[in-house]
Structure 1
Amino acid sequence: MNGEPMAPDALTGPLQRTNLREQVLALVRQALVSGEIRPGDIYSAAALATRLGVSSSPVREAMLTLVNEGLMEPVRNRGYRVIPMSEHDLDEVYTMRLLLEVPGTLQAAANAQPEDLTRLTVIADEIEKTAREGDVVGFLEADRRFHLGLLQLCDNRRLVDTVTAMRDQTRLYGLEALAERGVLDNSAHEHHHMLEAIARNDMDSLENLIRHHLLHVRSDWARPDSVSPAGDRRPRAGGKHDIRGTSAIEG
């Protein structure tokens, strides 16, 4: 690292001293999905641990979990590297999510109780708040809790686990640019619209909202705001939540 001060980001510590591995894993997942951790660059557990104010052990465990899930690969004596996702890969993820999330969420909606809607409304409020503030990390975390929390009501653990894995393979490199333009909150409102459709038992509207929301994921949310000279799509460096500093974080 170059030693210069860096802007606040997804990997700003210190973390709470309980469930460190889970907290680190959640933060690294968010950074991976948003493009803060960039495909092809090498990240050492020691350097990320320093940023988080924890020991290297929970960071290394989190990285190994992502290796086992096929999202990262170890680089001998250097650290870990994100495995790139091609446009075809992302198209496959989008198709899988359509096939699973649409019927799964409709089933979940049929099972939803008033207390479930109350709980999800609190999260939807949080999504809108983070969108207004341009907090991409908070937006991603709340969006994940909302959709998986709703989907769990379908009472199908395997479906939820599969969708969770598909979400982790999604790439949302365009969120930072949308947040900076102040238009991320347009998408945030959709979560309240979904809950309103569930409350009035309007499954046709709910299905349209889910499909539209997933289309964001594959189109404007996924579109990076810069393209390298070689045509490789990459997120812009140096943004509000940028964690890189250099092309590879050395330990």
Structure 2
Amino acid sequence: MLTPRSNIKRSSLRDQALAAIREGLISGQLEPGGIYSAPGLAAELGVSATPVRDAMLTLVHQGLIEAVRNRGFRVVTLSAADRLDIVQLRVLLEIPAMEELTGSPQVKDHYAEFSAVAADIVTAARHGDLIGYLDADRHFHLGLLDLLGNRRLVTVVGDLRGQTSLYGLRKLCARGGLTASAEEHLPILDALMGGDSHVTTQLMHKHLEHLTSD
């Protein structure tokens, strides 16, 4: 059952419906393999079906759900092969980008900002705040990529992250590894700051391996 959004303003119905559905996906209220209709979710949220349908189409684009004709939308279940494919793509895109950022003035200029975000990730992990963890984690990784000024790269990696983030969080929580994963962010940032591309690459490989571990 999704949390009703009684205070949703008309101008932001789609965005807040998207946030509510995303929370349902992260918390597991909307289960992998489950099929949900826009009118049904809209009734739970107390809003009309149109903004909910628009929000769900956004999630289709991000690869988190898929349209099922005449039934609604199914929450995507990733196979081990799917996860491996996505992680391989992320390795091909993110690690060279991190190498390019290593020792760059942009990282030095934004070190305090990303250091604070890394601390937020750890705090969220220790409190079991999955939504806070996911938001801060996304800010950290996509924010660093954004320093390169390549918006297409940020968009593509953001979509790939969206497809694996829910699975990765659940698996990390089940293994009790969420805090350990959270604590990897500051060393990555310090390697970038220190200009050590070899260490940066090693740390990023280790960080991405969480997504393929069972």
TM-score, length of structure 2 as denominator length: 0.82
Deviation at 1:192, TM superposition (A): 1.0
Q: Tell me which amino acid in the other structure corresponds to 1:125.
A: A
Q: Tell me which amino acid in the other structure corresponds to 1:24.
A: A
Which residue in the other structure is 2:65 paired with? 72
- Describe the shift of the 1:25–1:111 C-alpha distance in structure 2 as closer, same or farther (beyond 3 A): farther
Deviation at 1:77, TM superposition (A): 4.7
Query: Paired residue for 1:216, among 201, 206, 210?
Result: 210
Q: Tell me which amino acid in the other structure corresponds to 2:123.
A: K
**Which has the larger displacement, 81-90 or 21-30?**
21-30
Deviation at 1:64, TM superposition (A): 1.8
Which residue in the other structure is 1:90 paired with? 83
CA contact 1:106–1:203 (8 Å) conserved in 2: yes
**Alpha-carbon distance in 1 for matches of 2:100, 2:19:** 27
Deviation at 1:85, TM superposition (A): 2.5
CA contact 2:80–2:212 (8 Å) conserved in 1: no
Deviation at 1:211, TM superposition (A): 0.8
**Alpha-carbon distance in 1 for matches of 2:38, 2:136:** 26
Which residue in the other structure is 2:3 paired with? 12
1:66-100 deviation per Cα after TM superposition (whole angstroms, max 9, x unaligned): 33455433345542112433221211101001100
Which residue in the other structure is 2:160 paired with? 166
Which residue in the other structure is 1:104 paired with? 97
1:104-137 deviation per Cα after TM superposition (whole angstroms, max 9, x unaligned): 1222343524341111122111101110101122
Q: Tell me which amino acid in the other structure corresponds to 1:48.
A: L
What SS is found at the alignment partner of 1:125?
A: helix
What SS is found at the alignment partner of 2:147?
A: helix
- Does residue 154 of the first structure (1) align with residue 145 of the second (2)? no
Compute the RMSD of aligned alpha carbons: 2.8
- Describe the shift of the 1:169–1:181 C-alpha distance in structure 2 as closer, same or farther (beyond 3 A): closer
The 5-angstrom pairing of residues 121-136 of structure 1 reads 121-136=115-130
Deviation at 1:157, TM superposition (A): 1.8
**Which has the larger displacement, 11-20 or 94-103?**
11-20
Greater RCO, 1 or 2 (C-alpha within 8 Å, sep 6+): 1
- Describe the shift of the 1:76–1:200 C-alpha distance in structure 2 as closer, same or farther (beyond 3 A): closer
Larger fraction in helix: 2
Deviation at 1:217, TM superposition (A): 1.9
Deviation at 1:62, TM superposition (A): 0.9
Identity %: 46
Q: Tell me which amino acid in the other structure corresponds to 1:185.
A: T
Which residue in the other structure is 1:191 paired with? 185
What SS is found at the alignment partner of 2:184?
A: helix
After TM superposition, where is structure 1 displaced by more than 6 Å over at least 4 residues in a row? none
Deviation at 1:188, TM superposition (A): 0.7
Deviation at 1:144, TM superposition (A): 1.1
Aligned residue pairs, count:
211
> Which residues of structure 2 form unaligned runs of 5+?
none
- Does residue 24 of the first structure (1) align with residue 24 of the second (2)? no
